[in-house]
Amino acid sequence: MDKDAPDTQICQKKFPRLVAGAQPAIMNGSREKILGCIREALKTAAHPPEPGGKPLPSPAPAPPQFRQWLPRVGESFEEQCQLFASNAAMLRAVFERVPSAAAAAEKINQIARAEQWKKIATHRHPLLDEVLQRVEVARLYTDNKYALEELEACPAAVTACEALVAQTGSVLVSSHACGGRAVSILPPHHLVVASASQMAPDLLSAFAIVRQKYEGHYPSMLSFITGPSRTGDIERILVLGAHGPKQLTIILVG
């Protein structure tokens, strides 16, 4: 740098430390100070998140005043079912209630014929096994090893769930109850088969079902699915299927 140049003289007045080469020393000093703090912190052992291997305590129930801002949920199963159906429709999901596993299978066969499915992704589950034995489509089971390309080729996935949430029209899924993480995300059409006993009035009740089932040993993934995947990032235009399934169908047996 030409020290006699006009631009250099201006820089020396405005940024004397930078031009004089003092900046590296300042940066090195700050770096050593930060590293010194880290060294001191590492001398103290951190407490494990689950001391003694015991599960963490359950979160406290939500204060009653919070519930007044949420939609009211009826106490009877029929009221909760109607609320779930209404919320699902607003979310552009399809909700079907059928009396039996055989009726659920027939409903899936109708959809499969209409959309010309050749193979579906699914997993082992008592309710699914009863339903899918009557479904006339080849199946890819994600419980076992499978090629990702095979899952990508499936136009639909049929999974179980942990719970249905009447208050929000959501489906609570997990990696344990739904055949892994990818099966409910990758295929364009996600079908959920649930039993009447899985209807929960609200989110807190859904979490209670999971806590009771797993007793602190939770699956690696828990997720609430609320309608088909969507985005409105570009010009606020709603687009379905942006980051996941474009279609969501929930079949309630019972």
- Per-residue pLDDT tens for 41-60? 787 766 555 545 555 444 45
Confidence of residue 78 (pLDDT cuts 50, 70, 90): very high
Percent of the chain with pLDDT over 70: 80
Rounded CA gap, 19 and 9, in Å?
A: 10
Of 248, 196, 251, 240, residue with least CA distance to 223: 248
Is the pLDDT confidence value at 205 over 70?
A: yes
pLDDT of res. 230: 80
Q: Token pair 């088969």 is at which residue?
A: 193
pLDDT at 167 over 90: yes
**Helix, strand, coil shares, percent, the chain, to 5:** 40, 20, 40
Q: What percent of the chain has pLDDT over 90?
A: 61
Q: What is the DSSP track for 13-35?
A: HH-HHHHHT-HHHHHHHHHHHHH
Of residues 120 and 73, more confidence is placed in: 120
Exposed (0-12), middle (13-18) or buried (19+): which is 119, by Cβ within 10 Å? middle
CA–CA separation, 72 and 166 (whole Å): 10
- pLDDT value of position 11: 54
For tokens 């209409």, name the residue: 114
Please check whether residue 181 is in contact with residue 148, taking contact to mean a CB–CB distance below 8 angstroms. Answer: no
So what's the pLDDT on residue 98? 98
Query: What average pLDDT is seen over the chain?
Result: 85
Q: How many CB atoms are closer than 10 A to CB 13?
A: 9
CB neighbour list of residue 37: distance below 8 Å, 6 or more residues apart? none
pLDDT for the residue 56: 45
Residue 51, pLDDT score: 46
pLDDT of 109-118, one tens digit each?
A: 999 999 999 9
Cα 197 to Cα 213: distance, rounded to the nearest angstrom: 13
Q: If you count them, how many residues does the chain have?
A: 254
Amino acid at 140: L
Task: Give the pair of three-digit tokens for residue 70.
Answer: 């949420």
CB 122 within 8 A of CB 157: yes
Q: Which whole number is the average pLDDT over 147-172? A: 96
Beta-bridge partner residues of 194: 252
CA distance 215 to 198: 17
Q: Is the pLDDT of residue 15 over 80?
A: no
Alpha-helical regions (H) of the chain: 6-14, 16-20, 23-42, 64-67, 77-90, 101-115, 126-132, 148-153, 203-214
**Which carries the bigger pLDDT value, residue 159 or residue 63?**
159
Q: Which residues pair with 70 in a beta bridge?
A: none
Between CA 147 and CA 35 the distance in angstroms is 45
Secondary structure letter of residue 114 according to DSSP: H
SS3 94: strand
Greatest mean pLDDT among 26-35, 122-131, 242-251 lies in 122-131
